[in-house]
Amino acid sequence: MRPLAILLLALLPAALPQGAAAKPKLPIKDFLKDVNARLIERWSEAERAAWVAANFITVDTQAIEAAASERLMAATSEAIQASAAYPIAKLDPESKRMLTLLRLSTPAPAPLDPAKRSELAKTLADLGAMYGAGKWCPEGQTGDACQDLGALSKIMGESRDPQALLEAWQRWRTVSPAMKPLYERFVALGNEGAKSLEFKDLGDMWRSGYDMPAPAFEAETERLWQQVRPLYEELHCYVRGRLAQKYPGVVEGKGTIPAHVLGNMWAQEWLEIYPLVEPFPGKAPLDVTGALKAKGWDALKMVKLAEGFFTGLGLKALPKTFFERSLFVKPRDRDVKCHASAWDVSYRGDVRIKMCIEPTESDLITIHHELGHIYYYLYYNQLPILYQSGAHDGFHEAIGDALALSVTPGYLKQAGILDSVPTDDEGLLNVQMKVALDKIAFLPFGRMIDQWRWDVFSGKVSPEQWNDHWWKLRGEYQGIHAPVARPKDAFDPGAKYHIPANTPYVRYFLSFVVQFQFYKALCEAAGHEGPLHTCSFAGSQAAGDRLAKVLAMGASKPWPDAMEAFTGQRQMDASALLEYFAPLRAWLQEQNKGQTCGW
């Protein structure tokens, strides 16, 4: 999702900044019209500056990004302070909603002091640049001898040498200790900005953005986690057993799993170790990455395939400028922030993605995810800018993934990637395992990232405890541990993009739950009959019509209204997820008999 996208953090009446104006200068409708006009100009300016800074990492582009961000913060702060003149309880519903969204429209509210506002903008720009330019270099060497995240991640995904995996894991974490002082300052400034809006801290502000009080939202996320936790623990138990066989002496047959052997730099998804845990080796092999490489699929062809899925539902084609202005391949001549992201730099349809695409199954999935954002942008970009977001931030993340669930092996065969697809139960279980290594393995990681930040923002843990607390939560939620003792100066959270980029993360956890609700609703619209996991709604105009209706709503209605329009339900629920994975879960339970599961 675009890094500067408006974060809809609260849909409840916001407390007013102290010293706010007592008398409005304009009628509320005129005030909001003026605010939307001014903010779209500032948001677009900041978005363009961020695009340049992400694609050309230099001291100058960082300064340009920080200056544009500071101007946006100033404009937003001024609008929020002016909004205090309007008693929200006396407004009509539309004005009330829009004004509330305005008052909580940034993930990093600026302090009232202009000097601190400038410092906050520069701190965030510097953190982002440090991550984007991060490399490990042998002592005394530079240039080609160094390894960036892409090179180190390739080792993590492809190597089966535990020592090589450990070295790659440790090397990437050398880029983050220098971030810690900056992150400490960010926490102080962000909390000061949140308190100026009369929140307890920045985490309290973030948790208030879901049409319910902050404590109720935290309880809701825990309720959803408890729904899916048994399935995760069953997957963890099976995977741990297979890895213990592969890496004796490195992985134990009980307890937590070392973080470096799960195929991903952050152990957030385990797709790359599929060959090690495949239920029925060689049965209907689904080597999508191998097929993409063997058949010469390049970045553009992969993007075109994903676009075709959306247009096949009856949605509009991507504009020509999308292909002219996006970044699909890592440049050879400069550093860029390769973390995949989707952008509308104009908030009026200048849509792009930034992604260093490789011909891998993971990147093919990610492209569908990012185009989900892009199509959201295209369908709601005629709304006022304060409504240009998902019904809640989990919606935005879930749309593309819900469609990707419909990119079944049969669809990939039709696209010419796979030559054969599974036709029996063994083949089905192989497919479900691949999906689970992506979807189910991610759930506790998605749940714990913001739990760490909420604890940091609240002061529950001191800076000296930050890294230990990070690994404590990873142990509790994911059942993994650091493969080596961490040094005193370690700042391992900073090695994950969303921490230095200040991107709230619980949205991803929510999206991995509600995407299955969306998927089931689209399958029903398409008239699917049979087990949920067999559904593909590709080519269904009825499914496309239902999807387009929700995309066009943006944030103009509370998310339960959008959820009801999409699924007929007004609550987030993991039942569709559990239904989808029912065959795999039954098989895992059989495989785990006699094992000591949990940790």
Mapping DSSP to helix (H, G, I), strand (E, B) and coil, where does residue 331 land? coil
Region label for 468, one of left (φ > 0), alpha (ψ between -120 and 50) or beta (otherwise): alpha
> pLDDT digit string (tens) for 573-586?
999 999 999 999 99
Position 339 scores a pLDDT of: 85
Q: Are 447 and 478 in contact (CB under 8 A)?
A: no
Write the pLDDT tens digit of every residue in 398-430.
988 898 888 888 888 889 999 888 778 898 899
| Phi/psi at 354 (5° precision) | -120, 115
Q: Which residues have C-beta within 8 Å of that of residue 388, sequence separation ≥ 6?
A: 6, 347, 377, 380, 381, 554, 555
Distance from C-alpha of 144 to C-alpha of 160, rounded to nearest angstrom? 24
Tell me whether residue 165 is exposed, middle or buried, using C-beta atoms within 10 angstroms of its C-beta: 0 to 12, 13 to 18, 19 or more: buried
Q: Concatenate the DSSP letters of all residues of 443-510 into one string.
A: HHHHHHHHHHHHHHHHTSS-GGGHHHHHHHHIIIII-EE-SSPPPTT--GGGGSTTTTTT---HHHHH
Give residue-wise pLDDT tens across range 445-463.
999 999 999 999 999 999 9
Residue recorded with tokens 């230095």: 500
Cα–Cα distance measured from residue 134 to residue 324, given in angstroms and rounded to the nearest whole number: 28
Three-class DSSP category at 352: strand
Phi, psi of 336 (to 5 degrees): -140, 160
Angstrom distance (rounded) from CA 559 to CA 397: 14
Backbone angles phi and psi of 19, in degrees to 5: 75, 15
Write down the pTM of the prediction. 0.85
Residue 442 has pLDDT above 90, yes or no: yes
Average pLDDT over residues 346-371: 93
Mean pLDDT score of the chain: 91
Residues paired with 342 in a beta bridge = 353
